[in-house]
Structure 1
């Protein structure tokens, strides 16, 4: 088995697409509509055939409540991994990303947190090299 897709709720798909591609550097993978429904995914530019991230509109009460609750608790809705957190931190800041927490050493890793502007907190993690 493989994980090929995961989803994150967003309050604005166009704004989310601009953030995940323009600020984080992902690539748009799928984008099609059926009436009011829009299927929109992005993928890592480093792994174009890798796991897709669906930018799902939070247009139902359960999705919106979930998204708002985890954001309010400071819980990341998405965790990304990198081998160069300081370099990615600088690149993302230069692209307009707003960090809620700069790279910080914690047990076994260095983490940073930023908001996607669409209702989510994202954690970027670089695992410690032993």
Structure 2
């Protein structure tokens, strides 16, 4: 509930970050889920959207921007954390339109518009412990 968002300029297309809610037809229906991290005796790596820092005791692997498929595309898409340098391959400038990644911006509604702000680029952090 303490997002760190970016003022990175976005034009054209983007992905949306929405809040979630259960659709279960029981007492959980329309309730908003919470996030959880499961720890084991093995090392744990987690991607945290909405911040570019790790909680105390965790090590920052990298931070960047939450990216996903375009908001009006019907194809399935997963949110991924892309390093803030947005590095690319040497021959990566051809317009082949494979999997397209767009900046993810906030969309208020089930995502609370306080503390979030509508249409801000979502940051992310990859943390390990």
Tell me the TM-score normalised to structure 1 length: 0.24
Q: Which has the larger radius of gyration?
A: 2
Which of 1 and 2 has higher RCO (CA within 8 Å, sep 6+)?
Answer: 2
Bigger fraction of residues in strand: 1
